[in-house]
Structure 1
Amino acid sequence: MPSRSDSGLYSSLRSVTRGASVFAIGTGLSKALGFVFQVLLTRGLGAELYGIYTYGFTLAMFVVNFADLGTSKAILKFIPQYEDDLLQQNRLLGLAYLTSFGGSLLLGGSLYVFAPTITELTLNDPLLADVLRIFAVFIVFYTLTRTVSSVFQSVERQAYKMLLENVTTQTLRILSAGTALVVGASVVGVTAAIIVGTVLTFGIAAAVFLSRTSFRPTLGGSRGDVREFYDVSLPLTFLDAGRLLYRRIDVLMVGFLLSASSGVGVYNIATVLASLLRLPLTGFNQLFPPIASRLYSNGEIEELQSMYTMVTRWTFTISLLPAAATLVYAEELLGIFGTAFTTGVTVLLLFVLGELMNALAGPSNYMLIMTDHQYVSMVNEWVLGVLNVVLNYLFISWFGLVGAALATVSVLSVINFVRVVEVWYLEGLVPYSLKFFKPIFAGVGAGAVMFGLKTFLSGYLLLVIGGAVGALVFALGLFALGIEQEDKEFFVESVPALESVLS
């Protein structure tokens, strides 16, 4: 029978797992739709025009992360913190929406004005200037949509966030882009159609927010309230900027240094596939921040430590199987988008290794932020972000596309190691144990079996059968090595019918 403290831990874990489950369902559907969207664009536009779209979209998303001045993440901290004060929540939300609108309008307008200059300095294709000016509108509406959806995350209502930010967005993108391609539109027309879908998504998000929550954002509050809000949001803005310097600056630098839109397209598809491995961590991170903030504020450090450890191990375990499949079937996966994209195999393999390191670090970055070390996190992002820019410049000059991936993956590995060490040094919390070896052994076994199937199968048949067999081998390996006791207790308490299976 679990103790009272264990029950408290399992209650927190159930909240995090429920958020991750909702995220997995919503994002699984979203990623499936996103996969269709990417195939639609690559097949409909070709590698060169797809590269122009990708470059414009990447630059727009870079701007978006500055546009809201960190409000989408600040909401995750303040809405739970003031859960008993609706008036204060409404004031902070009013400040958040005003900040997001003003910031996105200013930066979107700047992108519109400087689009020709950016084009001359990068791909030097006049189509890019037109695409960038269309994306200037996207910045405003996407920023506002993201701010609205973060409110649902802060009150642990993940279903709405997933439906709005992922499923609705991707569905409307497919419909709008597909319609544009059917009528013969090129990259400019397709981009314009996608922006129409973004505007519709914001309208739906605003309607759901007003009908499904009791929040009614207002302006007001003291200077202290404003100062408190920006003391969190502004560091997080620079934190996001630093993160982009090591996560997405590589795409921009490929276009700047190589001036090849087709290379940008190939590189982006490799990053899109590798990013699927980030889903388990991102899923658990949906509700981990507000729960970690509450536990830390209440002084429940032992429970926080246990949750940190278990979430990290679960994240790493869930990531291993798709990582092994991607490593083994890299060329086959890239071939889905067209033969021109199979040149990105080495890039994809490097990014898979980087995402595995990301999973191994677990929610360490959110641990820093929610334990009041947001400035430490900001310094991490910027120091390593600048390092990534320097390494990308050197490595792209020496090795081309592969150099960009090598630089980014190296920096990603370093920052994850640094985060884990900082959480240990500042708070005494460590997420690792010998229990991590079980999923590693199971993953190696599954990878070996999937590789062996390449002797007998090929193409789509290999992907389907190899993936299914690999999943079975991985699950059997974990079961044979033994389910951890705390995992059994958690799942039995959450789903009593599993007691006979796990005992």
Structure 2
Amino acid sequence: MRIGQTSFVVFASKLVGSALGFVATLYFARTLGASVLGHYALVLAIVGWLALGGQLGISSAIVKRISEGNEPAAHFTAGMIVVAALGLVLSIGALALRGVVNAYVGTQVALFVALLLLIRLASSVVNAGLKGERHVHISGLLMPVKTGFRSAFQIGLVLTGFGLSGMLLGHAIGAVLAVLVGAAFLSIDVRRPSRRHFRSLFDFAKFSWLSGLKSRSFNDVDIVVLGALVPSALVGVYSVAWSIATFLTLFDSAVSSTLFPELSHADASAEHDRVAGLITDSLTYGGLIVIPGLFGGIVLADRLLRIYGDEFTQGATVLGLLILASLVYGYQKQLMNALNALDRPDVAFRVNIVFIVTNAVLNVVLVFWIGWIGAAIATVTSACIGLGLSYYSLRQLVSFAVPTGELSLQVIAALSMAGLVGGGRYVLESFDINHNAFIVVSLTAFGAATYFLLLFAISKQFRTTVIANTPDQLPSVLDTFTTK
């Protein structure tokens, strides 16, 4: 399967999964309110942070060692043993400290934290095995499976009156089913590992674990800080804004997931030109969705959030900042992905330390200083610093081209689209069309179509990429563009 097609399969899978999650979140926001969503977000944040301690970079190490093709079964088994042992210790610890956990969240959730932690760690091992075998598309397809099951069970349980407990239990059931489906597609055997297999994993993981901490820092440090300093309702609004921003990062996540094993394989084969080309490709298409999402999101921010309820519109400024942070962080993620794929987790480690410390310190300082918007500003600032450091570090190892021309064309198409969407909003509102969902859906669909048509028209590389990765030939009318 071609890389472009694989990226699209992963993206489409994530898109379907996120769409299902959007419907569920919308229902919970309107049914349970921002406070319950705030509790739910805090539980997932705690689980995410504990999962870092349960992995210690082992999942990334599993992907790396399996993709190299050197005794994959033994490396996979060694990783599974380590993650299982750490997960049991941490889940028992969460139960032992249930008073602290419950007090922080504001309700009785410690048992759910322990359960969700074990399930998330099992999921990380299964996904690592699939990615290491270069079955990234299968790993991607697990997302809609998990989200679909999760959303169905969550909605059913909430409907029957279980509230927050129903959301958490439904989350657990959906994740378990996804793990079972993923495990069925693993072709790797379980084989008794030796000490050198554990050592090989730890040699990579001792640096790469910080990449997971960096990702968790970007996604959850602000949520964790806000949970301690502001009411749970504001945490709920902030988490909804984050969910919209995260939705726009689906494609860049698909690109990085697809390219990691390809970069690792190319580096192991000493294909230096291919490595440089893959890095350039990751930068070319990493912001393909987030760039128009930024400008469109700014134009429609208040109406997007009003879909969840009037109390969520106070997060309009936060939403714009978080989309900007996601765009910057997306490019940083592509560069850090390359560093790890090139077996230089030591370099990524140093960059990640600066990013994590900066993000944590800025979040605390700015939230104290200017309130909850300070968390979004801190996230943007730390992402910019991380991008600069990761670019400098990778350029010391690989000579790659930054696709400034293609990025400029994407910005031009996005700005043009935003202008047209803003004009469309003005026209609809001037005719007293105030059905919010209709305005958001129609203008979002119009904006997406406009952006991609404009980009297809002005970017020869984008046209070529679209046609090259289409399973069947495009109609001849589209093919004629490539000759212009």
Same fold (TM over 0.5): yes
- State whether structure 2 residue 47 is matched by structure 1 residue 60: yes
- State whether structure 2 residue 78 is matched by structure 1 residue 106: no
Partners of 1:356 and 1:144 in 2: CA distance: 30
Partners of 1:314 and 1:200 in 2: CA distance: 32
Q: Is the 8 A contact 1:244 1:385 kept in 2?
A: no
Give the drift of 1:145.
1.8
Partners of 1:241 and 1:293 in 2: CA distance: 21
Give the drift of 1:103.
1.3
- State whether structure 2 residue 100 is matched by structure 1 residue 117: yes
- For residues 201-259 of structure 1, give each alpha carbon's deviation from its aligned partner in whole angstroms, at most 9, with x where no partner exists: 333433x1xxx4432212222x333211111123222331233223311100001122x
- State whether structure 2 residue 20 is matched by structure 1 residue 47: no
Partners of 2:33 and 2:407 in 1: CA distance: 43
- For residues 77-131 of structure 1, give each alpha carbon's deviation from its aligned partner in whole angstroms, at most 9, with x where no partner exists: 111211xx5xx211111111111111111112212222312444x35x2x1xx21
Distance 1:452 1:75, change over 3 A: same
- State whether structure 2 residue 278 is matched by structure 1 residue 307: yes
Partners of 1:501 and 1:362 in 2: CA distance: 32
2:117 counterpart residue number = 139
2:431 counterpart residue number = none
Partners of 2:151 and 2:453 in 1: CA distance: 38
Q: Is the 8 A contact 1:37 1:173 kept in 2?
A: no
1:34 counterpart residue number = 21
Q: Give the counterpart of 1:256 among 193, 212, 228.
A: 228
Partners of 1:246 and 1:476 in 2: CA distance: 32
Q: Secondary structure at 1:329's aligned position in 2? A: helix
Give the drift of 1:319.
2.7
Q: Is the 8 A contact 1:239 1:382 kept in 2?
A: no
- State whether structure 2 residue 268 is matched by structure 1 residue 292: no
Distance 1:100 1:301, change over 3 A: same
What code does the residue aligned with 2:116 have? Answer: F
Q: Give the counterpart of 1:244 among 189, 194, 216.
A: 216
- State whether structure 2 residue 179 is matched by structure 1 residue 202: yes
> Deviation above 4 Å: which 4+ runs of structure 1?
492-496
Extract unaligned runs of 5+ from structure 1: 1-13
Give the drift of 1:195.
2.4
Aligned length: 473
Partners of 1:492 and 1:249 in 2: CA distance: 40
1:431-470 to structure 2, matched below 5 A, reads 431-457=402-428, 458=434, 459-470=436-447
Partners of 1:236 and 1:434 in 2: CA distance: 32
Distance 1:493 1:71, change over 3 A: closer
1:28-427 to structure 2, matched below 5 A, reads 28-82=15-69, 88-120=71-103, 122-123=104-105, 125=106, 127=107, 130-164=108-142, 166-206=143-183, 208=184, 212-221=185-194, 223-258=195-230, 260-361=231-332, 363-427=334-398
Partners of 2:28 and 2:109 in 1: CA distance: 15
Give the drift of 1:395.
0.4
Q: Is the 8 A contact 1:47 1:262 kept in 2?
A: yes
Q: Is the 8 A contact 2:77 2:192 kept in 1?
A: yes
Question: Which range moves more in the overlay, 341-350 or 144-153?
Answer: 144-153
1:497 counterpart residue number = 473
Q: Secondary structure at 1:477's aligned position in 2? A: helix
Question: Which range moves more in the overlay, 417-426 or 464-473?
Answer: 464-473
Extract unaligned runs of 5+ from structure 2: 429-433
Give the drift of 1:393.
1.0
What code does the residue aligned with 2:265 have? Answer: R
Partners of 2:329 and 2:201 in 1: CA distance: 29
Distance 1:324 1:200, change over 3 A: same
- For residues 17-71 of structure 1, give each alpha carbon's deviation from its aligned partner in whole angstroms, at most 9, with x where no partner exists: 1221111221111001111121122222211122112111111112112212222
Percent identity of paired positions between Structure 1 and Structure 2 = 21
Q: Is the 8 A contact 1:149 1:205 kept in 2?
A: yes
What code does the residue aligned with 1:45 have? Answer: L
